Amino acid sequence: MKRKTELKLANLFRHLARYILLGLGIITILFALLSGADDYGGGINGILKNLPNALPWFLLLVVLYIAWNWEVLGGIIIIIFGLSVLYVFNFPTTNFLSTASILAFLIIIIGVFFVLSWYFERESDHDKVF
């Protein structure tokens, strides 16, 4: 019975982490691409010139791919990414409770979900009855 509960928890954490981060990453990339495109004249040309602003968020999707395949490694990298976002976007300013800090904490929590998913799956494998 314990094994079944651990597998359910592992699957819950895994699916929450994967799909929430995928949605969050896509929304953030779109926001990063479109928010500064008007400064470059708008349209496709403005979006292409504003592409460097979205590169960190494309990196988040690459890390999500890693976490999709190797949960513990990807989870640790996602936690580090979230801590980096927290530092880069908040500490240079006095506005610590900004949208960026909420986003960073969400990314950190999702990274923890990946690690927990790996942990509960590993624990359920140790309880197998042979």
Render pLDDT for 48-83 as a digit per residue (tens, 0 to 9). 888 888 888 999 999 999 999 999 999 999 999 999
- The pLDDT score that the predictor gives to residue 110 is 96
* Both structure tokens of 53: 């602003």
Model confidence, pTM: 0.84
Which residues neighbour 122 within 8 Å (Cβ) at sequence distance 6 or greater?
A: none
Tokens at residue 37, please? 């495109």
Burial of 78 (0-12, 13-18, 19+ CB in 10 A): buried
Look at residue 130 in the predicted model and tell me its pLDDT. Answer: 44
Query: What pLDDT, on a 0 to 100 scale, did the predictor assign at position 94?
Result: 61
Q: Distance between CA 68 and CA 53 in Å, rounded?
A: 25
Q: Judge whether 16 and 113 are in contact, CB under 8 Å.
A: yes
Confidence of residue 92 (pLDDT cuts 50, 70, 90): low
